Chains A and B, each alone.
Chain A
């Protein structure tokens, strides 16, 4: 089973604080995507990481792919209320017959209070 474990599941912080969300698997990813979803809407792709050790930045968001390509993290600096939402990591289920299938972590619900 190709599971993705995200932690924490819930996070409630004050505006201005920093936070990190983790995504782990027992198997190697060939690539991993991070999505953000707001209530009643579909997930929006934030970033794709591909290379072990890769770091990508998107404004106040920093995404890191582990050297062994089994884990990834999302760090938000100085969180703002607009960052509130469900953060999801997802990996492709590659292999015969698995094309087009993404496996998602259970998500991290982030609430940033003003």
Chain B
């Protein structure tokens, strides 16, 4: 089975621009979660989508948004980029629809640099 894929792997943007990142989950996985990883804050939860609905959201501003398509692929969007948005953005997919062990399988991430 193919793992979680994320595109692009690297991205350089300037302040004020917007960006869209893409994630394809493992086949059969319907839950997709997004995380931001920075050296100072570590891994922080952004949001989770299940069956095209946002089921959970972390403490990030409204500039961060996402969506999920009927094939479970997900995108996240960051508008009006700030320098502090530079991070590794990780997507994870999970088989469990709710609760359970919540084992999540991560993609390689998208490294976003904001200049």
Contacts and interface: CB of A to CB of B under 8 A. Distances in A.
Interface in B3-60: 4, 6, 31, 33, 35, 42-45, 48, 50, 55-56, 58
Interface in B79-115: 88, 90, 92, 94, 98-99, 101-109, 111
B108 A104 contact: no
Interface stretch (A18-26, A41-49, A58-66): A41-49
B102 A42 contact: no
Given A99-B98, A100-B102, A88 B45 contact: no
B75 to A, nearest CB: 17
Interface size class of B (residues with CB under 8 A): 20 to 34
Interface string A33-76: 10100001111110010100000000000000000000000000
A48 B44 CA distance: 20
A106 B111 CA distance: 19
Nearest to B41: A106
Contact of A100 (B31, B88, B109): B31
A100 B50 CA distance: 9
A94 B101 CA distance: 10
A80 interface: no
Contacts of A97: 55-56
A10 B6 CA distance: 29
B77 to A, nearest CB: 19
Contacts of B35: 102
Contacts of A40: 88, 108-109, 111
Interface string A1-40: 0000000000000000000000000000001010100001
A42 B108 contact: yes
Given A98-B56, A101-B56, A104-B43, A45 B104 contact: yes
B33 A101 contact: yes
A49 B32 CA distance: 22
Interface of B: 4, 6, 31, 33, 35, 42-45, 48, 50, 55-56, 58, 88, 90, 92, 94, 98-99, 101-109, 111
